Every structure is written in C-alpha cells, then in structure tokens.
C-alpha cells in the first residue's frame, strides 16, 4: 500500500470511528448507505464501488467472512444468507489491503447496534402501548387497543382472541367463546385459560392468557413465523391488557354498584312517598320494566287470610292461563331457594314461551309474604348481576308494600264492621257529609231485620250473626260501586246513594226487601225507611238520619216487610 493510499485509509478509518460517536442510533441500512457514500468518495481515485447485496454471487471461500476474489474484487459477509458487501475497483488498481477488514468490523458493529436500536425501539413502543392500556377504563376498548398494539409492534404475526362467555356477551369484538364443556373448544386455549400459563402448540403458535390479579379473562393466540420467540414480549402487552381489563371491569362494577344503590335509594324513597297501593305497584312495575327490560311483571302477595293474590299493576299476562306454568314453577322453587333464575326456559315452558325468568320472594322478617316474577322472550336476557339487583330491589320494596298494605288493612278495619264487612257508621257519616258538600242530591235507606230478637232466641246468637252476614251480602251484591253500605248498629243496616234521586232509593229498598226474603236461610224479612236530600231541599246529616228513622218506624208499625218514605 503506497503512502497516499495508507493516509487515505487511516483517514477513512478515523471517519468510521467518528460515525459511531456522532450517530449512535442509526439503522443498519442507513449505516450501509453512509458507508457506501463515504468509501466511494475517499477512494474515488481507484473508482471504488461498494455494493450491498442480499445474495452471495459465486463462491465465498471456506468460512472466512472476507473473500478476496481478486486484487480488485472482494466479497464481505456481514450476516450469513442475508447481508453481503461487494468491493470492487478498476482492474488496474488494487483494493487497499485492510479496507475490507475495516468495513467488515464497521458493519458487524452497525448490525449489532441496529439490533440494539430495534430492540430499544420495540421496548419503547411496548412501554408506550402498556401506558396507553393503563389509561383506559372501558373493557372493550382495552382489548381493542391490545390487538392494535400487537399488530403495530409485531406486524408479522396474526392474532386471535378467546373470551369466556361472561366477558364475550358484553364485548363487541371478533372473539371465539371459551366453552369449558364443549369438545370443539381449542384445547390449548382452554389449557392456557384454566392454568393461567402460556402454552405453545409449536414454534409458530402460542397461547397467552389475558389475566389480572384476580383471574383470567381470556386467551390471546399469536401465530406466524417467530411467534414463540416473541412470546415474552407479547406477554408484556397481554399482561398489561389483563390488568387494565380487570381495572376497567372493577371500575364498571363500582359504577354499576353506585348506579344500583342510587336506583334502590330512589325507588325506596318513591315507594315510601306513595300513599296508594295501585300507585306504588305502578311505580315499582315501571321501575322493573325500565331497569331490566322486562316484558311481563307479576306481583303475588299473601293477604291477611294467607291467600296469594295478584296485586294491581301486574301485567295482564298473569291473569291468563298461559301464565300458570311460570307461576307454579316459581312457587315450587322459591320455597326451596332465595330466588329463581332461568336463562333458557325452552325446555320448561316451550319454544314459544318466555325463555328468560327471574323470580324472588317478598320477605319480611324472614317470613315469605309473596313473590315477584319478571319475564322476557329472548334467551339469556337477564344477567346474574341483574338478578342480584332484582333481589335487592324487591327486598327493599317489600317493606314499603307491606307497610302500605298494613295501613290499608288497619284503615279497612277501622272503617269496616268486622262481622258483616260493611262500612262502619262513622265512615258512613263521613261519606254522607262529603257528598252533601259536592253532590246535587243523595238518598239514605235505613234497614232493619224484622223480629231479629226472636231469631236470636229461637236459633241462637250464632245464627243471628249468620243472618246479619247473609243480609249484608244481599246488600253488597245489589248496590253500585259508589254506594256506601254500612252497619248502623245491632240488626240495623244502612245504604247511602250519592248523586241519586228519591225514586232510586225506593227502587233499591223494594228490591232488597224481595231478595232478602228469597235468599236468607232461615227466611227473614226487612223493613226500610227512605229519606233524601237535594240542593232544593238541603238537610243536615242528623235530619237525614232522623227522617229515615221515622220512615223505618212507620214501616215497622204498618206491618213490616215493606219500606216507607219520609
């Protein structure tokens, strides 16, 4: 090597060293491009050509990375079967002796730096993706971002998602359901899911569990060349996704819990503010329909006699014969369990019936007061979380319903004669006073059972009570809904007809006299006194009663079994 060439070589070698100081993070291809330009510039006097190649042209020799084909042509192997450099110059010149060694060392080092650079870049991207995952609070978005991140970092692989049914039904992503009981389920995916450990089918297929601290939520399958080699890096992203998924799940659960508590609190307040049973049941029915998407709602409550009755605002379906299988099933199961949950009732109720059912008891102090049923046509329309909320709602609502029914029962007992179940005299007074303020007219019919003392003396007081009940039933069956029938006292009964004229009262009295005589056993008769008031002939409450009493006295004195009008 002559002096000029030696000096140029040393300058070039120094240039290579400076390259690493100035550009520590450069890709291999960029390094080769820089080398080509620098070398061809430095050694232009020999027309040096640096030609990168991915294939070896001709024989390389016996394993030496530098193969000198001739004085003016050398092949340098940087990486077997993929990266080669060909050096050539004009045939009248020779390649500098140490140039090939320097270029080889330079590019091998560049290749190592490129690998480090790529690895660092990959780690940076993985870190960025995991940070992004931890910021998400939506389960579906977590899984979607995980797949997008993997395709970005490892684009040479294909991915498939396996999810358990509990997760799959709420996530709108392409996924295969993990069914533990199905023979068609991918065994490697199932094994990874159950064990929580990575499983490899071969070098090109790996199954990585998506897990958090509390459980495994699915499995990620990665397949393609090098899948097994990148499994550790994929695990970093999948583990971050698993924890983010779990956090978002817990967050959604906490939000749902807050929402459920607000719903329960709001429902309880609304029910406790309600003063009428139909209004209360309407409010509760609407709440169940809106909260669970129920198509049918039925409330069954035991009355004071222990008989289960269908409460108002139950949907009309429960008044039909088609509802009987559902009612019987719930009644049978609810005595054994704290609730009934059916996801697919086709085998129980037929394919045309309601497939989804929830039923819970109405418990008060551990005593079963009845039950509530909600139904929906589609299979698996109710989740287990819905069922638990349903139980809580009914548990809180039962107390409000029981309190209102107890209040109505107490009010009924205060307003009603226990023997005849007609209204009390005080309630009759109240209703007549109310009518006199608002209506145009009204009629009072006072009724007395003829010779009642003789009945008691002949048959006994128990039969006398039975006669009172029989007469009361005749009265109840023959008056309007707005009419008020009451026990006046002893064997005397009364009926008030609001918004009625005198002839209406007379017709009622005549009809009752006939029916009592025909329908009682032993046969008894009644006498009636009729009085009335109108805006043209206003009267006080006491005057109305006095006139009816006088008319009744006249009917008794004139032979009984008749009515008289004042």
Residue 115 has what pLDDT? 83
Would the pTM count as exceeding 0.75?
no
Averaged pLDDT, 42-49: 90
Residue 112 has what pLDDT? 86
List, edge to edge, every strand of the sheet that includes 563-565. 484-489, 492-498, 441-449, 526-534, 563-565
For the segment 337-357, what is each residue's pLDDT rounded down to a tens digit? 778 999 888 888 888 889 999
Averaged pLDDT, 124-137: 85
Residue 167 has what pLDDT? 56
Residue 171 has what pLDDT? 63
With cut-offs at 50, 70 and 90, classify the pLDDT of residue 136: confident
Q: CA 476, CA 453: separation in Å to the nearest integer?
A: 24
Residue 165 has what pLDDT? 64
With cut-offs at 50, 70 and 90, classify the pLDDT of residue 222: very high
Q: How far is CA 248 from CA 150, 167, 234, 371, in A?
A: 20, 12, 21, 35
| Cα R_g (the chain), whole angstroms | 48
Which residue, among 270, 275, 273, has the nearest Cα to 285 in the 3D structure?
A: 270
Task: Tell me which DSSP letter residue 54 carries.
Answer: S
With cut-offs at 50, 70 and 90, classify the pLDDT of residue 157: very high
Task: Tell me which DSSP letter residue 196 carries.
Answer: -
User: Is 320 in contact with 354 (CB distance < 8 Å)?
Assistant: no
CB atoms within 10 A of CB 407: 12
Q: What are phi and psi of 68, to 5 degrees?
A: -90, 105
**What domains can you pick out in the chain, each with its CATH number?**
3-118 (no CATH), 136-251 (3.30.450.40), 274-412 (3.30.450.40), 425-565 (3.30.70.270)
Q: How far is CA 217 from CA 45, 150, 188, 306, 358, in A?
A: 68, 18, 15, 48, 27
Q: CA 37, CA 257: separation in Å to the nearest integer?
A: 67
Most confident of 98-112, 164-178, 179-193: 98-112
Give 33: exposed, middle or buried? Use CB within 10 Å, 0-12, 13-18, 19+: middle
Averaged pLDDT, 279-298: 89
Is the bond into 522 cis (omega within 30 degrees of 0)?
A: yes
Task: Tell me which DSSP letter residue 107 carries.
Answer: H
Q: CA 319, CA 340: separation in Å to the nearest integer?
A: 21
Q: CA 93, CA 126: separation in Å to the nearest integer?
A: 51
Residue 57 has what pLDDT? 57
Q: What string of H, E and C letters represents the secondary structure of 75-97?
A: EEEEECCCEEEEEECCCCCCCCC
Q: CA 182, CA 196: separation in Å to the nearest integer?
A: 19
pLDDT at residue 434 above 70? yes
Q: What is the residue whose two structure tokens read 């609407």?
A: 286
In the numeric block, which tokens belong to residue 318? 């429960």
């Amino acid at each position: 090597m002559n002096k000029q060439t030696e000096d140029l070589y040393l300058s070039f070698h120094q240039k290579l060293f400076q390259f690493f100081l100035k550009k520590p993070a450069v890709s291999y291809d960029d390094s080769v491009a820089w080398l080509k330009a620098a070398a061809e510039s430095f050694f232009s006097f020999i027309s040096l050509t640096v030609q990168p190649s991915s294939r070896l042209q001709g024989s390389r020799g016996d394993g030496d990375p530098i193969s000198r084909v001739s004085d003016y042509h050398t092949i340098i192997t940087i990486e077997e079967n993929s990266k080669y450099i060909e050096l050539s110059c004009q045939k009248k010149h020779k390649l500098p002796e140490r140039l090939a060694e320097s270029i080889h060392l330079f590019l091998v080092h560049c290749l190592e730096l490129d690998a480090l650079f790529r690895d660092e870049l990959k780690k940076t991207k993985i870190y960025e993706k995991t940070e992004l995952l931890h910021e998400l609070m939506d389960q579906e978005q977590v899984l979607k971002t995980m797949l997008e991140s993997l395709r970005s970092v490892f684009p040479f692989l294909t991915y498939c998602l396996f999810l358990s049914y509990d997760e799959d039904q709420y996530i709108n992503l392409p996924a295969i359901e993990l069914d533990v009981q199905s023979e068609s389920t991918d065994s490697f995916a199932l094994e990874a899911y159950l064990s929580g450990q990575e499983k490899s089918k071969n070098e090109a297929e790996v199954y990585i569990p998506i897990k958090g601290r509390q459980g495994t939520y699915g499995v990620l399958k990665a397949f393609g060349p090098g899948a097994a080699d990148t499994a550790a890096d994929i695990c970093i992203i999948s583990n971050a996704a698993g924890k983010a998924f779990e956090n978002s799940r817990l967050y959604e659960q906490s939000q749902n819990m807050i929402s459920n508590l607000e719903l329960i609190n709001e429902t309880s307040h609304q029910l406790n503010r309600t003063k009428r049973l139909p209004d209360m049941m309407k409010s509760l029915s609407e709440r169940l329909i809106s909260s669970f998407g129920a198509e049918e709602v039925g409330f069954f409550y035991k009355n004071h006699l222990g008989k289960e009755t269908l409460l108002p605002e139950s949907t009309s379906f429960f008044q039909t014969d088609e509802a009987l299988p559902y009612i019987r099933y719930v009644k049978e199961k609810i005595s054994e369990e704290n609730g009934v949950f059916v996801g697919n009732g086709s085998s129980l109720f037929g394919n045309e019936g309601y497939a989804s059912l929830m039923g819970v008891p109405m418990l008060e102090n551990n005593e079963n007061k009845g039950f509530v049923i909600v139904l929906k046509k589609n299979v698996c329309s109710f989740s287990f979380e819905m069922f638990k909320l349903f139980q809580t709602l009914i548990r809180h609502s039962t107390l409000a319903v029981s309190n209102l029914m107890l209040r109505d029962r107490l009010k009924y007992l205060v307003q009603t004669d226990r023997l005849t179940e007609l209204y009390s005299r005080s309630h009759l007074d109240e209703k007549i006073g109310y009518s006199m303020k608002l209506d145009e007219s009204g009629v009072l019919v006072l009724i007395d059972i003829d010779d009642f003392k003789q009945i008691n003396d002949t048959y006994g007081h128990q039969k006398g009570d039975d006669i009172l009940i029989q007469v009361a039933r005749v009265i109840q069956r023959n008056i309007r809904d707005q009419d008020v029938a009451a026990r006046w006292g002893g064997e005397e009964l009364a009926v008030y007809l609001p918004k009625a004229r005198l002839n209406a009262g007379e017709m009622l009295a005549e009809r009752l006299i006939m029916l009592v005589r025909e329908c009682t056993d032993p046969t008894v008769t009644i006498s009636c006194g009729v009085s009335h008031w109108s805006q043209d002939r206003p009267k006080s409450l006491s005057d109305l009663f006095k006139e009816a009493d006088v008319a009744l006295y006249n009917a008794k004195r004139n032979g009984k079994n008749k009515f008289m009008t004042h």
